[in-house]
A = this chain, B = another copy of it.
Amino acid sequence: MKSNNVKILDCTIRDGGLVNNWDFSVDFVRDTYEALNAAGVDYMEIGYKNSPELVDAENSGPWRFCEDRFIQEVIPEIKTTKLSAIVDIGRVNPDHFAPQSESPFTMIRVACYLKDIDKGLDLVESFHDLGYETTINIMAVSNSINSHLVDALQKIEESSVDVAYVVDSFGSLFNRDIEHLVNLFKQYAPSKKLGIHTHNNLQMAFANTLCGIDLGVEYLDTSVFGMGRGAGNCQTELVLGHLTASRYDMKPILKLIDERFVPLSKEVEWGYNTAYALTGLFNEHPRSAIAMRKTEGKDQFYNFFNKLTSVETHLDIK
Contact = CB atoms under 8 A, between A and B. Distances in A.
A277 interface: yes
B175 A277 contact: no
Contacts of A302: 251, 254-255, 257-258
A274 B251 contact: no
A301 interface: yes
Given A258-B302, A262-B299, A301-B254, A203 B274 contact: no
Number of copies: 2
A174 B277 CA distance: 21
Nearest to A263: B299
Interface in A114-143: none
Interface string A259-283: 0001000000000101001100100
A146 interface: no
A307 to B, nearest CB: 12
Contact of A257 (B210, B225, B301): B301
A14 to B, nearest CB: 21
A287 to B, nearest CB: 20
Interface string A168-183: 0000001100000000
Interface of A: 174-175, 200, 202-207, 210-211, 225, 235, 237-238, 241-242, 250-251, 254-255, 257-258, 262, 272, 274, 277-278, 281, 299-303, 305
Given A202-B238, A203-B238, 18 more contacts: A174-B210, A175-B211, A202-B242, A204-B206, A207-B207, A225-B274, A235-B277, A237-B277, A241-B278, A250-B305, A254-B274, A254-B301, A254-B305, A257-B274, A257-B301, A257-B302, A258-B303, A272-B272
